[in-house]
Every structure is written in C-alpha cells, then in structure tokens.
Amino acid sequence: MPVIALLAAVVAVTVEQLVQWKYGPMGIAGLLLLTIGLKAKNATCSSIGAVVLALMVTGPAG
C-alpha cells in the first residue's frame, strides 16, 4: 500500500511540473482548480479548471 501511495505522489508531482513548464502559472491554476473541484465534488470549480486547461492547450484563437 505505501508503494502505491508513493507512486501516485511521484506521478502527481511529475504532471504538475510538466504543466508548469509547458503552460506556466495559468496551467498550474487550472490544474489546481480541477483537482480541488474533483476532490470536493464541486462541479463548478472542476469545470472552471477544465476550461482553463483546455484554453491553455488549444492556445490563442487566430
């Protein structure tokens, strides 16, 4: 059980670092909102986080 928790923590930190490296502070904010929304079962918070991440991935329109 501790090995699974350790691997999950390593994966979470790795994903966070990749998002920050590629998308900057707004990417981290979107990931944070999405994570908090999912853990708190708050649809509004998770939706805002998902939209922020989607906008960061698609880039500027035009």
Please provide the average confidence, as pLDDT, over all residues in the chain: 86
Give which of 54, 6, 62 is closest to 30, Cα–Cα.
54
DSSP label of 34: H
- Quick one: pLDDT band at residue 25, thresholds 50, 70, 90? confident
* C-alpha dihedral (8, 37, 34, 10), degrees to nearest 10: -10
If DSSP codes are grouped into helix, strand and coil, which group holds residue 28? helix
pLDDT at 50: 92
Q: Name the percent of the chain lying above pLDDT 90.
A: 26
pTM: 0.70
Whole-angstrom Cα distance, residue 19 to residue 8? 17
pLDDT in tens, 30-60: 888 998 998 999 999 999 999 998 888 887 7
